[in-house]
Each structure stands twice: as C-alpha cells, then as structure tokens.
Amino acid sequence: MDFCDMTPIFGEVEAVWSAPSTTPLEPFLFRVHGLQNDPSGLRIIVTDFQSNTFEAIRTRHQLEDMKDNIGIGGNWSEFVDYIRASVKSEDVKLILEGQSESGGASHAKLIAQKGKGMPRMSVSLAKLSDVVASQAMASLSMELYKEYKNVHKSLVKEQERSFNLTVVVAAEREKNESLQNMLSRKNKSQKMDTENSDSKSASSPQDASDKQITQNQNSTKAPNRVVPAHRRLIAYPICFCLP
C-alpha cells in the first residue's frame, strides 16, 4: 500500500505558538494525501484561510529517512498505516514559529502521535504566500467539498438501505403476526371441538340409560282400554213359555 492508495485525510488541528505571543490564532484545517506523480510521495497542507498557509511535500526517500528517524519498524505498508493513523488521531498539533513579513508565522511544524507512548511523527512545513497560498486554499476547499459530497452520497444510500430494510422488517413482522393469529384461531377451534366431543361422550351413556328406563316403565303399565259399544256383550233374560 502507498500513499496514493490512501483516502485523503481532512481534519482540524490545534495551533499554538512555540513562544509566548499575543497574536490570536484562528482555527486551522489540514489535508494529507498522496501525490499523483509519485505514488509513494506525501503532501500536507495546513491553513487558517487567512495569513497562515503551510505546505510539506515528501518523497519516498525522505519518508524512509523519517521512518528510520522516528524508529518505526516493519515494512513500507505498515509505515503508511502508521502515518495515516497518526494524523487521524486526536493527538495532532500545529506549532507556529517566527513572524512573517506578509503576516502570521514564518514557518510551522505538524506533530502527530498514533497513541500515548508510541513514536511521534514531526513534519516541518514551509510558508506559502500570494498566489501559491491562494491556490493551496482553493485546492483544499474544493477537495473538502468533494469529500463532503461523497460522504453525503454514502449517507443517502445508507438511509435508503435502512428504510428499505425497515420496510422489509415491518412486512415480515406483519406476516408473522398474521400467521400467529391464524395459528391461534386454529388451536382455539381445535380445543373447542375437543371439548364438545368430550362433552358428548360423557352425556351419551346417561341419555341411553334414561331412554331405557323410560321404555321399561312404559312396558310395565297395564293398558286401560275402553271397549267400543258395538263390541260389548249384553245379557238379556230368556223366558220360556209352556203350552
């Protein structure tokens, strides 16, 4: 991995004077990126968009010397990762020195440290003025805007993905609730059928017994039927007349 493969790094850096000074300091922004004509080269721009704009360009050879001076072991890719992590950390400072005739400091130094107790990188920055300073500020502003657009696009895509995922989750939840309701109704119906079946099974022997008792009672009763009048026998007295 080289610095040309590294995504440009933007950040705000705290600036302090190396010696006590009454000159107030404005916020500084910086940009660290690789060089188009040198894949292993590195460029640093720091500016307050007023009277202090600084730049540092380092070649592969200069960076290897810095690697040895700092005492960072490992291969080149590990060194690139270390530089990137250092300038992205919260322990980044800009030291201003001297007074420039055009205003502001005459030179500066960017100091960054990946973590407490780890090697500290220090890069000297040259003062830019006039047109060169304006071009550097314009370049940083334009690249910062491009980075903003990229971040905004990524945010919009993430929001769309999150919304679509929310819709899918809501649909799945609704589907699951519908299935749960159907299953609940089915279980309730099966339970009612089982209860009705058990109730019928329990009442059937009693009904049969009651029916049998009724039949027996009916069969033991003597019939009290009235004989029709035309079928009744009437006893008439018989008279015999003797001559």
Ordered domains of the chain (ranges, CATH): 3-152 (2.170.210.10)
- pLDDT computed for residue 36 by the predictor: 82
Rounded Cα gap, residues 24 and 240, in angstroms = 172
Q: What angle do CA 199, 200, 205 make, to 5 degrees?
A: 110
Q: Which amino acid is present at 7?
A: T
pLDDT bin (cut points 50, 70, 90) of residue 212 is: low
Rounded Cα gap, residues 91 and 115, in angstroms = 8
Tell me the per-residue pLDDT of 90-107, one tens digit each, with 9 for 90 and over.
899 999 999 888 788 999
CB atoms within 10 A of CB 211: 10
On whether the CB atoms of residues 29 and 148 are closer than 8 A, the answer is: no
Tell me the per-residue pLDDT of 31-47, one tens digit each, with 9 for 90 and over.
999 988 888 899 999 99
Of the ranges 70-79, 153-162, 229-238, which one carries the lowest mean pLDDT score?
A: 229-238
CB atoms within 10 A of CB 78: 13
| Of 36 and 147, more confident | 147
Q: What is the residue-averaged pLDDT of the chain? A: 84
Q: Does the pLDDT value for residue 217 go beyond 70?
A: no
